[in-house]
């Protein structure tokens, strides 16, 4: 199985993060499972830092939505078995599932569903305060507010470019993550979820699976295993997204007109 793993920062600026994703996927994926990691194209992102992109919903929509639509379409055309949304903002999830026939996996949705099976209340630990509104929107989208004990900051302000450097010497950042987890646990969390791709990766590759007996859900690993599960369900049970109302496919005329835009041809 071959998965396209999509995140929103420029891959060339985050080599340690990309290496961590590949390393972790190799460790937890089933034999024969491979991922390719894709970030933001420099031209599409206009050279902006990720913090600049997420600061404004208008900029985020203008920059990120075309990226995900184009690359999901491209992944299907190139024979990938699944497309993984590696950001907890899960941009245009409904639209992506409407567009392609391959499974589209949301890191947020997969992590929350895994959390629901092991704990009544989960806390989401986010990179910085800029990401909170996006995570709140994802919670509302899935109607899971009753299962969330709170959203907590690992740092009030932190750029992904700063976090990239922590992969080389992660001890200090992991201690900050544990401190945030303990705050969440004191506030009622029975499990904690690193609710951002780079935070999840640095936690996962360093083997942090619990804090004071409370599970830390591996968002990256859960997403990869969820993709494997979705493919198995499709192959063995014929289970696919509902096309009646929720994930209506584009008409042939629409695909003919817009397909080249998404495929980048």
Structural domain spans, the chain:
2-224
**What is residue 180's predicted lDDT score, i.e. its pLDDT?**
95
- Residue 11 tokens read as 């891959």
- Each residue of 121-171: pLDDT tens digit? 999 999 888 889 989 999 999 999 999 999 999 876 556 667 778 888 889
- Residue 123 tokens read as 């806390």
Question: Across all residues in the chain, what is the average pLDDT?
Answer: 88
- Each residue of 239-259: pLDDT tens digit? 999 999 899 988 888 888 876
If pLDDT is split at 50, 70 and 90, which confidence band does 265 have?
very low
The helix (run of H) or strand (run of E) holding residue 192 is strand 191-194
Give the CA dihedral 92, 143, 200, 117, nearest 10 degrees. -130
**What is residue 131's predicted lDDT score, i.e. its pLDDT?**
84
Helix (H, G, I), strand (E, B) or coil at 250: coil
- Each residue of 197-217: pLDDT tens digit? 888 999 999 999 999 999 999
> What's the topology of domain 2-224?
Rossmann fold (3.40.50)
Q: Is residue 95's pLDDT more than 60?
A: yes
- Each residue of 105-126: pLDDT tens digit? 999 999 999 999 999 999 999 9
- Residue 262 tokens read as 């998404």
HSE of 155, CA atoms in CB hemisphere, 13 A? 14
pLDDT above 90 covers a percentage of the chain that reads 62
Higher pLDDT, 11 or 100: 100
**What is residue 169's predicted lDDT score, i.e. its pLDDT?**
86
């Amino acid at each position: 199985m071959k998965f396209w793993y999509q995140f929103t920062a420029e891959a060339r600026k985050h080599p340690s993060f990309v290496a961590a994703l590949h390393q972790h996927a190799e460790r937890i994926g089933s034999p024969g499972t491979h991922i390719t990691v894709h970030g933001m194209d420099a031209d599409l992102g206009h050279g902006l830092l990720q913090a600049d992109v997420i600061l404004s919903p208008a900029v985020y929509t203008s920059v990120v939505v075309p990226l995900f639509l184009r690359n999901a379409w491209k992944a299907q055309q190139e024979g990938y078995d699944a497309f993984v949304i590696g950001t907890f903002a899960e941009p245009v999830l409904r639209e992506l599932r409407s567009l392609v026939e391959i499974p589209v996996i949301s890191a947020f949705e997969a992590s929350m569903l895994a959390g629901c099976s092991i704990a009544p209340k989960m806390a989401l630990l986010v990179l910085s305060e800029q990401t909170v509104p996006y995570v709140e929107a994802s919670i509302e989208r899935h109607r899971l507010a009753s299962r969330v004990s709170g959203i907590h900051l690992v740092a009030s302000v932190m750029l992904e470019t700063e976090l990239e450097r922590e992969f080389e010497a992660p001890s200090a950042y992991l201690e900050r993550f544990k401190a945030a987890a303990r705050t969440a646990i004191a506030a009622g969390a029975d499990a904690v979820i690193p609710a951002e791709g780079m935070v999840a990766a640095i936690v996962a590759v360093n083997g942090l699976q619990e804090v004071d007996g409370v599970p830390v859900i591996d968002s990256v690993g859960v997403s990869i295993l969820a993709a494997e599960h979705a493919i198995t369900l499709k192959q063995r049970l014929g289970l696919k997204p509902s096309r009646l109302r929720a994930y209506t496919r584009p008409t042939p005329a629409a695909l003919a007109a817009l397909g080249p835009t998404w495929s980048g041809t």
